[in-house]
Amino acid sequence: MLSPIIPHNLNAQACLLFDWGQVPYSQAWEIQQKLVQERRENPDLPDVLILLEHPPVYTLGLGSKLEFLKFDPDRTQPELHRVERGGEVTYHCPGQLVGYPILNLRRHLQDLHWYLRQLEEVLLGVLEVCGLKGSRVAGMTGVWVDGCKVGAIGIKVSRWITMHGFALNVCPDLAGFGQIVPCGIPDRPVGSLQQFIPGIEVDRVRAIVIAEFARVFGVEIVRSSESIDRWCVTLNIPAES
User: Which domains are present in the chain?
Assistant: 13-235 (3.30.930.10)
- What is the rounded distance in angstroms from the CA atom of residue 80 to the CA atom of residue 82? 7
Q: What is the pLDDT of residue 241?
A: 45
How far apart are alpha carbons 40 and 33 in whole angstroms? 11
Binning pLDDT at 50, 70 and 90, where does residue 34 land?
very high
How much is the pLDDT for 4?
44
Mean pLDDT value across the chain: 91
Please determine, for residue 129, whether its predicted confidence score (pLDDT) is greater than 70. yes
pLDDT at 61 over 50: yes
**pLDDT of 231 over the 80 cut:** yes
Question: One-letter amino acid identity for 141?
Answer: T
Instruction: Encode 87-96: b = buried (16+ Cβ within 10 Å), e = exposed.
Output: bbbbbbbebb
Kind and range of the H or E run holding 119: helix 112-129
Give the containing element (helix H, strand E) for 41. helix 25-41
Question: What percent of the chain stands above pLDDT 90?
Answer: 75
Instruction: Return the half-sphere exposure (C-beta side, CA atoms, 13 A cut-off) of residue 151.
Output: 30
Q: What is the pLDDT of residue 10?
A: 54
Task: With CA atoms as reference, report the closest residue to 226 among 13, 17, 14, 6.
Answer: 17
Is the pLDDT at 64 greater than 50, yes or no? Answer: yes
Asked if the model's pLDDT at residue 192 lies above 60, the reply is yes
Query: How high is the pLDDT of residue 240?
Result: 59
Tell me what the mean pLDDT of segment 218-237 comes to.
89
Question: Structure pTM?
Answer: 0.92
Instruction: Please write the tens of the pLDDT for every residue from 139-185.
Output: 999 999 999 999 999 999 999 999 999 999 999 999 999 998 888 88
Give the three-class secondary structure for 54.
coil
Task: Report the catalytic residues.
Answer: 183
Give the residue, 234 or 221, on which the prediction is more confident: 221
Higher-confidence position of 229 and 99: 99
Q: How confident is the model at residue 238 (pLDDT cuts 50, 70, 90)?
A: confident
